[in-house]
Amino acid sequence: QSALTQPASVSGSPGQSITISCTGTSSDIGGFNYVSWYQQHPGKAPKLMIYEVTNRPSGVSNRFSGSKSGNTASLTISGLQAEDEANYYCCSYSTTSSLVFGGGTKLSVL
Amino acid sequence: QVQLQESGPGLVKPSETLSLTCTVSGGSVNSRNDYWTWIRQPPGKGLEWIGYFYYGGSTSYKPSLKSRVTISADTSRNQFSLKLSSVTAADTAVYYCARLHSSRWPDGIGDWGQGTLVTVSS
């Protein structure tokens, strides 16, 4: 059970849009519509931003959206704000009845 | 709003058993709606799902940790716990307890504790 693959870092300017990819296999991302995304600021606990590929919990800005195609899921953040600078982790359910996380992506807002 | 607080030793010796407790407020570990979860994060690295406990004693663990992990609940104290045996330095991490509500099963872990750092060292 390998970790999902994310880019180590992405960056964007305030107001721009960015997309973070998360690549797995047919045993996880490709096999289920159970992909979530977590935001983590340094020294803080992760925060759920997206679940079941596209669902946003109440209170999460609609600037955050999720999608999936095949074995790859994506998180898009539009209208980048300074407060979005954080680490982002994808997560998927897998055929082993467990959850697997990505290695994380550091988002820098320039 | 559920609140979770981890507690336990911050230092464990190699080959010993790591034991952590999570105290739940604003919810019940005896709820049929919740999966009580442990996740860890080695310093400077990514998140790793360990497993969960569900009402009635059902559990699910990460396959590579299954032989060393036990997650259980104490309904009288409204706590759930993690035991990880035969620890090595690779088990050094911040350990988070969390709640997964059944409406967001299996991937929407919405409530997290603040995390506690456990270091494995002699």
Tokens 């697997």 sit on residue: A100
Q: Is B46 an 8 Å CB contact of chain A? A: yes
Q: Do B108 and A99 touch (CB under 8 A)?
A: no
- Of residues A3, A34, A96, nearest to B107 (C-beta): A34
* Residue of B73, B120, B118 whose CA lies nearest to B99: B73
Residues written for chain B: 122
Enumerate residues 6+ apart whose C-beta is below 8 A from A69.
none
- Residue in chain A nearest B112 by alpha carbon: A45
Residues of chain B with C-beta less than 8 angstroms from the C-beta of A96: 63
Residues of chain A with C-beta less than 8 angstroms from the C-beta of B45: 103-104
pLDDT digits (tens, 9 = 90+) for B10-68: 999 999 999 999 999 999 999 999 999 999 999 999 999 999 999 888 999 999 999 99
Average of per-residue pLDDT across A23-39: 97
pLDDT digits (tens, 9 = 90+) for A55-64: 999 999 999 9
pLDDT digits (tens, 9 = 90+) for B93-121: 999 999 999 999 999 999 999 999 999 99
Residue A92's φ and ψ, nearest 5 degrees, are -140, 150
Q: Is A2 an 8 Å CB contact of chain B? A: no
For residue B56, the model assigns a pLDDT of 86
Whether residue A1 is predicted with pLDDT greater than 90 in this model: the reply is no
Q: Which three-class secondary structure state does DSSP give residue A16?
A: coil
